[in-house]
Structure 1
Amino acid sequence: MSSIHDLAAAAVAGTASSSHGEDGSGATKRRGAFIVLEGLDRSGKTTQVKLLEQRFVEEGRPAKVMRFPDRTTAIGQMIDGYLKSHVDLDDHAIHLLFSANRWESA
């Protein structure tokens, strides 16, 4: 199993890419890494995310943590009701709600 430090190093390796800036200068831009952690309930995902975010902050790199479903939105509250068995929804409908919830944060 990789350590959180190995994951952080791997995530930022090669994130610089050469492309033309909006001004056409051809300057090197830094591209972000999109890191996804999946796992069972209570498997330590939140702990690992906090450690990874802390590592990026210590290195002076910006980090944005996103969690799904995002229960702070109207769609997220509908998903939360479904997950807590308060609302019965068609499988296709809940799938679309999860997708819409991710787009809300994009």
Structure 2
Amino acid sequence: MSETRLKLMEAIARKQTVEARYNGDLIKLAPHMLFERHGDLFVSALNMSKTWRSDDERRLGQFKLAGLGSTELLDESFDPLPSYQPTVPRSDDALILAI
């Protein structure tokens, strides 16, 4: 099991934020769900590094685990988005772990 996958699973289980490199940028994520799509792992997470105009606008993004690097579990908890439902984005996705 990859180190990134283990750290994200722990972050989801404990509702803790992670910091990771994605497309060359350092971002902070609040991971809500880990799922598999066509053999690839993805995490649905709130990108806390993104500037949102309002709390109502905030939504989960999908990040491919293969693109996440230098993932670190932070000592910072988060509350799941109020609108969050633990359902996979597509009907053929497989849920692995969710808040």
Q: TM-score scaled by structure 1?
A: 0.25
Which structure: greater helix fraction? 1
User: Bigger radius of gyration, 1 or 2?
Assistant: 1
Q: TM-score scaled by structure 2?
A: 0.26
Which structure: greater strand fraction? 2
